[in-house]
Amino acid sequence: MSERHYFGTDGIRGQVGVAPITAEFALHLGNAAGRVLAIADQPSVLIGKDTRLSGYMLEAALQSGLIAAGVHVHLLGPIPTPAVAQLVRATGACAGIVISASHNPHQDNGVKFFSAQGEKLPDAVELAIEAALDAGFQSVPAERLGKAMRLSDASERYLQFCRHSVAPEFSLAGTKIVLDCAHGATYKVAPQLFAELGASVSSIGVSPDGLNINHQCGTTHPQALQAEVLARGADLGIAFDGDGDRVMVVDDEGELLDGDDLLHILARCWQTSGRLRGAVVGTLMSNFALEKALADCGIGFTRANVGDRFVHQRLLEQGGVLGGEASGHLLCLDRAGTGDAMVNALQVLDAVRASGRSLADWRRALVRYPQRTINVRVPAGSRPLLDATVSAHRARVETRLHGCGRVVLRASGTEPVVRVTIEADDLVLVESLAAELAATVLSAAVRGAS
């Protein structure tokens, strides 16, 4: 595969005003993407965004580049990322674009794409867009320029899709829920959805000002939601991230259930109902307790690399329908083609109700293994994970942990760091093994750099 210059694991992301997250680059990106993705006689692309102030700038620049490439643009305004994926399929657009940096602070922003099928772009298409960027800005003749227009019913279409992800008789009547919308893309649609389903809804994180997205709220800072659930005596709380593709839940005791907890609930309940197909897919960082709990119930579990696109790929390869990450990015592929926090929250509430058990009871059923991660900063260019002494030490640790834990060695993709992670049922053992293996990694890195 050719080397990427701009696209990461989830589109293009960075600090606003610093290349590539500039108005100039967005103009050229829209133009290049339009030339690659415009596969119809009258091509159209949807653009959605979260609530960041910088979204206005990037939206206008992308729009201009696409129009110059002869593409019609439908502007959706602030709307969850999964809504864009769903609306691309529903409208027959060539592609969807989301302007968001997900759970990052407002200083960051990004651009990610969905194909006509509402899925992340294949590597080959992303590389084609990068090649088109290198070829320079190109405008079609004046008579072939695209137009821009608003899709006024985008939110209602998406809400209808969410409502249809559960049975018509599904109701939250009598349920007291607190929502934390992270001052992000779900700030209007989430309270509306849960209220329409009968819940008594209280909301926090629903006053975006362009700068407060994800600030001390949402899935990255659930403490505010936990406190609000207890203060209001609510039955549960639901936290979303800034672009609405991650979800976590708080039970009536104010305790947090993250993505591992929610996967455990869904897998067990879907096994009972017959809805589960294939193995559940987690990542290298999914807690070992989840793997063991599912194995004890006869449910297959496999791990993909960190990142929802890798979880999605593995699910498609093995015909599975359920996967995700502890961060709350879940995939219920029999209901949505991408990570959809609002849809996934409904699936969890539906499963819990059908099980006859409380959220707190489900939380206590998954007893986490102690985990320790040490970030070992290594000299730039060193490759300690290829060192024989590191491989040998890792093998010894894996032998020691066989059946009761695991080890993960992972080089960071953004900084010169190797992450050493140990999980086991003994906290003292976890701490000692992590420290010893981290020392071996550091020694190998220094030796390799000298």
Distance, CA of 229 to CA of 207 (rounded, Å): 19
SS3 category, 40: coil
Distance, CA of 46 to CA of 99 (rounded, Å): 11
The set of long-range contacts for 351-354, using a CB threshold of 8 Å and a minimum separation of 24, is 351/265, 351/266, 351/269, 351/270, 352/265, 352/269, 354/269, 354/273
On whether the CB atoms of residues 289 and 366 are closer than 8 A, the answer is yes
Map tokens 């009547």 to a residue.
173
Q: Which two tokens stand for residue 159?
A: 């809400």
Length of the chain in terms of residues written: 450
Q: How many CA atoms lie within 13 A of 73 on its CB side?
A: 26
Distance, CA of 357 to CA of 366 (rounded, Å): 14
317: phi then psi, degrees, rounded to nearest 5? -65, -35
Q: Which residues does 195 contact at the CB level (< 8 Å), separation at least 6?
A: 201
Distance, CA of 324 to CA of 316 (rounded, Å): 13
Q: Which residues does 364 contact at the CB level (< 8 Å), separation at least 6?
A: none
- E-state strands within 145-216: 148-150, 176-180, 200-204
Handedness of CA 251, 256, 257, 258 (dihedral sign): positive
Choosing from 54, 64, 100, 102, which is the catalytic residue? 102
Would you call 102 a catalytic residue per the annotation? Answer: yes
Distance, CA of 398 to CA of 386 (rounded, Å): 17
On whether the CB atoms of residues 278 and 318 are closer than 8 A, the answer is yes
Q: What share of the chain is helix, strand, coil (3-state, %, to 5)?
A: 40, 20, 40
Outline where 146-287 has alpha helix (H). 154-163, 189-196, 223-232, 259-273
Q: Which two tokens stand for residue 179?
A: 């929502």
The radius of gyration of the chain's CA atoms, rounded to the nearest angstrom, is: 23
Positions marked catalytic: 102
